[in-house]
Amino acid sequence: MSFLVAHGSALLFYLFAGLVLAGAVGVVTLRNPMYGALSLLGAFLGVAALFLLRHAEFVGLVQIFVYGGGVMVLFLFVIMLVNLHRLQESRMFASTAPLAAVVGALLVGLIVWALAQAPRAVPTVAASTSLRSIAGATAGNSEAVAWVLFKDYLVPFEIASVFLLVAMIGAVVLGRKG
């Protein structure tokens, strides 16, 4: 129990990190896209949990709603729409897979090595987005995010909404028969 108390957050991290990695490996390696999609759902949920662990509740929930809900449904919907056994690839991987694996491993190695080398400096944060200056004046994380979003990032936010509209129209046009 004491171990849990002492190392709870670490355990949770490893649990969800494992879930995320398992899901990701499933996505990349499973032949059947249906299984791949379910693995992806696992990865999404793991990531959402990791957001929560980092006190980013709003982003975590958005992750669950948008990814675990909308995007996943979209994927499943499309997988159902296309002929499933047509999707059974004769060869799953392209011939470049070993190279890609090496490059991927190299990338991870590099980043991890860079993290180990990384200097620790005290960051200077702008007052308008600083967690400490906002958190005191707000009810929680969602409000704090909202403040930043609607004060500093109002124009990008509106642009994002227009972007979503355009994407929707595009998807409709593309998805239409003919």
Q: Name which of residues 51 to 70 contact other proteins (CB under 8 A).
A: 51, 53-56, 58-59, 62-63, 66-67, 70
Of the residues 85, 132, 136, 155, which one makes contact with other proteins according to CB under 8 A: 132
Helix (H, G, I), strand (E, B) or coil at 1: coil
Find the shortest distance in angstroms from Cβ 1 to other proteins.
Answer: 19
Find the shortest distance in angstroms from Cβ 171 to other proteins.
Answer: 4
Q: Under the criterion CB under 8 A, does residue 170 sit at the interface with other proteins?
A: yes
Give the DSSP H or E segment for 64: none
Find the shortest distance in angstroms from Cβ 15 to other proteins.
Answer: 12
Exposure letters 39-71 (e unless 16+ CB within 10 A, then b):
bbbbbbbbbbbbbbeeebebbbbebbeebbeeb
CA 154 from centroid of its chain's CA atoms: 23
Of the residues 4, 10, 15, 80, which one makes contact with other proteins according to CB under 8 A: 10
Cα–Cα distance measured from residue 158 to residue 178, given in angstroms and rounded to the nearest whole number = 32
Nearer to other proteins, 2 or 144 (CB): 144
Find the shortest distance in angstroms from Cβ 175 to other proteins.
Answer: 5
Both tokens assigned to 15: 């649990």
The CB density around residue 26, as the number of other CB atoms within 10 Å, is 18
Nearer to other proteins, 4 or 66 (CB): 66
Q: How far is CA 99 from CA 22, 27, 105, in A?
A: 22, 19, 10
Residues in the chain: 178
> 32: number of CA atoms within 13 Å, CB side?
8
Q: Within positions 72 to 131, which residues make up the interface with other proteins, using CB under 8 A?
A: 74-75, 78-79, 81-83, 86-87, 89, 91-94, 96-97, 99-101, 103-108, 110-112, 114-116, 118, 123, 125-126, 129-131
Count of positions on this chain that bind other proteins (CB under 8 A):
94
Q: Within positions 14 to 33, which residues make up the interface with other proteins, using CB under 8 A?
A: 17, 20-21, 24-25, 27-28, 33
Find the shortest distance in angstroms from Cβ 129 to other proteins.
Answer: 5
